[in-house]
Structure 1
Amino acid sequence: MTRNRATAIGFTAVLMWALLALLTIGSAPVPPLLLNAICFAIGGAIGLVWTLRKGLGVLRGISWKVYAFGTAGLFGYHFLYFTAFRLSPSAETGLIAYLWPLFIVLFSGLLPGERLGARHVTGALLAFLGAALLVMGRGGEGSANAAGLALAFLCALTWAGYSVLSRRLGEVPTESVTLYCLATALLSALAHLALEETLWPQGVAGWGAVLLLGLGPVGAAFFTWDIGMKKGDIQLLGVASYAAPLLSTLALVLAGITPPSWALLLAALLIAGGAGLAAGRRG
């Protein structure tokens, strides 16, 4: 697989994550950890079907340490993310959580064979400014809380670390993500039983939103992201990830949930400019 093709496949994860907010709204009143459990179970089932083309034996030769790493990345990120917003349902929390693409760009410079250029850093900072406009403009349900902000920071570090370290596991087949998803579904279900009240989706629309979440943003996206991180342009994917909050906001605008604004246009220019700069020649 070529580097450009792997990068394009990785970017499909960003496109799927653009629907995360819209579908999550549609899945109400399902609590976060239960939603996580259902969606990752669907994602894991998709992975099992996909893995059958090679045979389930491909999953046996992988070290338990790899499975522990992948499960810690997926479950750890989502648990920290949900907990952060429970403690601090604010725009500041969302902004700190969205430091992960910038961290991916910065951490990638530590990888063998990768060189971090000024264009990548500048592009990532421009795109972060664009995301900041969107997140701060959207506001939050409550005030900032120091513990919640700290967890949001750990959340960003967790996803960036998981993504960048996946590069070091380039020989591990992407089919391994199947067990990451199933283990995350199990841990999420246990955490739900301990921490949340059980509330199921309402009607066909609610169940449809949950199914689409499991098929895409909280399912297939982790498989395509794995391919992009292992074989694609990791710096470009890091900067391009800031398209997720932009496209997510556009989806909410088209659905009539969020009104259009000049801030949205400026954010689009900053994010597109940052991605374009990072896609240029390395410097």
Structure 2
Amino acid sequence: MTRTKATATGFVAVLLWALLALFTVGSAPTPPLLLNTLAFGIGGVVGLVWAAVTGSAAQMRQVPLRVYLFGTLGLFAYHLMYFSALRLAPAAEAGLIAYLWPLLIVVFSGLLPSEKLRAGHVIGAILGFAGAALIIGGGGTGLNTASLSGYLLALLAAFTWAGYSVLSRLVGDAPTASVAVFCIGTSLLSFPLHLMFEDTVLPATMVGWASIAALGLGPVGFAFYVWDIGCKRGDIQLLGTSSYAAPLLSTLVLVAVGISAPSMTLLWAALLITGGALIAARASFSENR
């Protein structure tokens, strides 16, 4: 697979992740750890099918344990924080903050061998964080304390996923199908913690169950396998900057279905985060000419 095809493959995950907030909201009132258990259980099955179809199941036995531990903890931590954030704060606003991870990927990737951080990446980062600050500050009306915990969890989630994506290049060369073990590990790790810390609350409607199934099949299933290919074989800076389409698409979906109300704060935050992406993307394109 060429670097260009791998980058395009990774971008399929971005399109699927644009639906992550929608399905997370639809899965309410399922608590975060239980949602991790159910969605990643489905995602793990998707991975096993992927391994069977691609003939890579045998390669999974050669993967070092440290790689499986790294992947499992990365998926577990990010989604626990993300699901919790969307339970504690407005979905569109928390989702936009969590979607700072593409910008952070660009910044962090500048630390990798053979990669270079340019001025455009830094400017894009400043704009992106300005958009997040606008949300947390309540659009200039004062600190939004009611949703602050959710916003902070979303910010931590962004740092976690960016770090996971960049460091995945350094922890070892593992087949993409090994992500199935990450998903199954996340599900198995989440279940006992759910029993310890949460009440079991399952969806009461078909919409809730369909949302959980859609999460497992798409944003926390197939998306990880194509993302893994993009991160390891594609242009990670270009992939990271192209990922800025996700926050705008995610916000538009939430507004279109009536989950989030349009507002000037939401508009400006989305424009700042997306604008930062465009500037950072231009810097990457200039570097690759």
TM score, norm. by length of structure 2:
0.83
Distance 2:228 2:207 in 1: 30
Alignment correspondent of 2:121: 120
Alpha carbons of structure 1 residues 11 and 84: separation in structure 2 relative to 1, 3 Å: same
Identify which of 140, 146, 164 aligns with 1:142.
Answer: 146
Identify which of 217, 220, 225 aligns with 2:219.
Answer: 217
Counterpart code for 2:238? L
Q: How many residues align?
A: 280
Alignment correspondent of 1:177: 179
Alpha carbons of structure 1 residues 28 and 15: separation in structure 2 relative to 1, 3 Å: same
Using the TM superposition, name which of 176-185 and 26-35 deviates more. Answer: 26-35
Distance 2:4 2:133 in 1: 28
Provide the aligned C-alpha RMSD in A: 3.1
Identify which of 225, 228, 237 aligns with 1:226.
Answer: 228
Local SS of the residue matching 1:282: helix
Unaligned runs of 5+ residues in structure 2 are none
Q: CA deviation at 1:266?
A: 4.0
Q: CA deviation at 1:4?
A: 2.3
Alpha carbons of structure 1 residues 277 and 247: separation in structure 2 relative to 1, 3 Å: same
Alpha carbons of structure 1 residues 110 and 162: separation in structure 2 relative to 1, 3 Å: same
Structure 1 residues 1-283: aligned runs within 5 Å: 1-53=1-53, 54-81=55-82, 89=89, 97-130=98-131, 132-133=133-134, 142=146, 144=148, 154-169=156-171, 171-280=173-282, 281-282=286-287
Distance 2:79 2:116 in 1: 30
Counterpart code for 1:5? K
Distance 1:5 1:170 in 2: 22
Whether the 8 Å CA contact 2:40–2:186 is kept in 1: the answer is: yes
Counterpart code for 1:238? G
Distance 2:107 2:217 in 1: 31
Using the TM superposition, name which of 247-256 and 133-142 deviates more. Answer: 133-142
Q: CA deviation at 1:51?
A: 0.1
Deviations 1:22-53 (A, max 9, x none): 11221122111111111101110000011012
Q: CA deviation at 1:68?
A: 0.8
Local SS of the residue matching 2:62: coil
Alpha carbons of structure 1 residues 269 and 97: separation in structure 2 relative to 1, 3 Å: closer
Unaligned runs of 5+ residues in structure 1 are none
Q: CA deviation at 1:59?
A: 0.7
Q: CA deviation at 1:58?
A: 1.6
| Fraction of identical pairs, as percent | 59
TM score, norm. by length of structure 1:
0.84
